Structure 1
Amino acid sequence: MQVAFLGLGVMGYPMAGHLKAKGGHDVTVYNRTGAKAQKWAGEHGGKAAATPAEAAKGQDIVFACVGNDDDLRSVTLGPQGAFAGMKKGALFVDHTTASADVARELHGKAKELGVDFIDAPVSGGQAGAENGVLTVMCGGEAAAYARAEPAIAAFARSCRLMGGPGAGQLTKMVNQICIAGLVQGLAEGIAFAQKAGLDAAAVIDVISKGAAQSWQMENRYKTMIEGKFDFGFAVDWMRKDLSICLAEARNNGAHLPVAALVDQFYSDVQAMGGNRWDTSSLLARLNKP
């Protein structure tokens, strides 16, 4: 198919690459920093566009993965936005982690233009994007999802329609709520083991075979014990995601005491200079002198 990808950050860059290499699609890319789009085009044999509208012109599917609600609006709306360039019947698939409100808003605007819209946030981090094994949770209409799913398969190992517009974003919120508590629990466990004079690596090796096991434990315990946090999913981005979760909870009446508390712990990590540290840096806060 003819596809476009808007946003070539640590996630979007490899995702667009998989659409070309594994999916076999004709890919045009756009990035706010044009040099990165040119670099991607040179590496992958695709094309670079100067604006989202130019990238989207004539495409069957337009993918996006940008920073937040405002970034998403900036690449979709207005005379230079993707919606202005998309043909009727085309499909917009948004992989940004954003609010359910903006997903519903853009779904409505797209429908007015005769364009379909799927909100499709992802989980799996940079490694998942690079290896093409992301989990994708989608919201939108079934017919539009059916068109999107085969293309998404180029960079995903799991993809599911969770409900109507916004349901993908709501599901991603559940994902981030669960992760927040898991990482804090793992950080406290490692800190406790260290204070108790135990071999923390041996402790994790044992308990990871039982009920305490988690992705965070399997993939982060070694770097946590070594005090290495300069990689991975940044604290700044996690706080952005948790702010979305907490705002939605205020709207729907859900109680998120642990998520709210961990969000404040991440604020402490930011005050330590850890804005770009991995989310596992909650341990650094506990070990701070």
Structure 2
Amino acid sequence: MSQNLSTVAFLGLGVMGYPMAGHLSRAGYDVRVYNRTAARAEAWAAEYGGSHHATPGQAARGADLVLVCVGNDDDVRQVTCGENGALHEMSEGSLLVDHTTASADLAEELDAACRTRGIGFLDAPVSGGQQGAENGALTIMCGGDQGDFARAEPVLDRYGRAVTLMGPAGSGQLTKMVNQICIAGLVQGLAEGLHFAERAGLDQQRVVDVISKGAAGSWQMENRHKTMIADEYEHGFAVNWMRKDLGICLEQARRLQARLPVTALVDQFYGDVQVMGGGRWDTSSLLRRLRTEDRN
């Protein structure tokens, strides 16, 4: 346990936050939790022995470190700066870490708000999905001050296998955008490859067994090919969330005058999946889109 950060508040107990907070409790931290759906916070406290609170501010009161893992920019603002938000109750010298995949603008906004209160801040989006959160094997990309990062790192190590400071506030979010841009192209490529193999009459599993050992291999291929072949998508990272993330990427790209033609196209394909009723399907459902086009 970090000597300086012993009491931790965790705001947001979704499929990621729930196990992340659990790792901290098992490591001996005094964990105080808040979730918009109170029953989930109560269930977490019953399972892990921490305390649950009615508002973000109540959970943050007396905490050395406040961790946030919610849905989007507006959700982050609500639990940090809104009425009964965490920042109103955090003490000078404490630290706020936002694990939400959000905009770099929000990171800079929160950094400024924290500085006026003498509070440290890191934007620290994660990659690795629900499986990575449950296994304590997330990749965490951070933006902020070196001193704040050094304080937070021992805590983040409890559920991260790679915790890296990328630069000043906003750098973590920008790095996560790169991550999502790369994933979008990989998943579409995998979907097209499996679709091609199926139409060519090949054994898709045998194809993957061969090509995954070479240059085509990827995390997506290793972890998603079986369910894609079986046309099963009721799991994993939802299309709705991927579209939210890609929207952030494309908006930032416009500002940077960076060209993302493939990302923009895959974003449209995910829009098609949403129209099919697949907003909650895993992102690998791009293959179902291709199969549906075959039937039409």
> Shorter-chain TM-score: which interval?
over 0.9
Could you say which residue in structure 2 is the equivalent of 1:171?
175
Residue 187, structure 1, aligned to residue 187, structure 2: no
How many angstroms apart in 2 are the aligned matches of 1:83 and 1:234?
A: 30
Q: For 1:42-91, what per-residue CA distance to the aligned partner results, in whole angstroms no more than 9, with x for missing partners?
A: 11000001111111111110001000000000000034100001010000
Structure 2 stretches lacking a partner, 5+ long: 1-5
How many angstroms apart in 2 are the aligned matches of 1:68 and 1:174?
A: 18
Match of 1:224 among 223, 228, 231: 228
Find the residue that maps to 1:287 and give its secondary structure.
helix
Residue 10, structure 1, aligned to residue 15, structure 2: yes
Q: For 1:20-56, what per-residue CA distance to the aligned partner results, in whole angstroms no more than 9, with x for missing partners?
A: 11x2100000001111111111110000011111111
Could you say which residue in structure 1 is the equivalent of 2:273?
269
Could you say which residue in structure 2 is the equivalent of 1:258?
262
Q: Percent identity?
A: 66
Match of 1:245 among 237, 249, 255: 249
TM-score normalised by length of structure 2: 0.97
Q: For 1:236-255, what per-residue CA distance to the aligned partner results, in whole angstroms no more than 9, with x for missing partners?
A: 00000000000000111100
Matched to 2:111, the amino acid is: H
Matched to 2:88, the amino acid is: A
Find the residue that maps to 2:121 and give its secondary structure.
strand
After superposition, where does 1:45-194 map in structure 2 within 5 Å? Answer: 45-194=49-198
TM-score normalised by length of structure 1: 0.99
How many angstroms apart in 2 are the aligned matches of 1:68 and 1:155?
A: 21
Residue 202, structure 1, aligned to residue 191, structure 2: no
Find the residue that maps to 1:158 and give its secondary structure.
strand
Residue 25, structure 1, aligned to residue 29, structure 2: yes
Matched to 1:136, the amino acid is: I
Query: Number of aligned pairs?
Result: 288
Q: Cα RMSD (Å) of the superposition?
A: 0.5
How many angstroms apart in 2 are the aligned matches of 1:85 and 1:115?
A: 11
How many angstroms apart in 2 are the aligned matches of 1:50 and 1:170?
A: 32
How many angstroms apart in 2 are the aligned matches of 1:200 and 1:38?
A: 44
Match of 2:38 among 23, 34, 39: 34
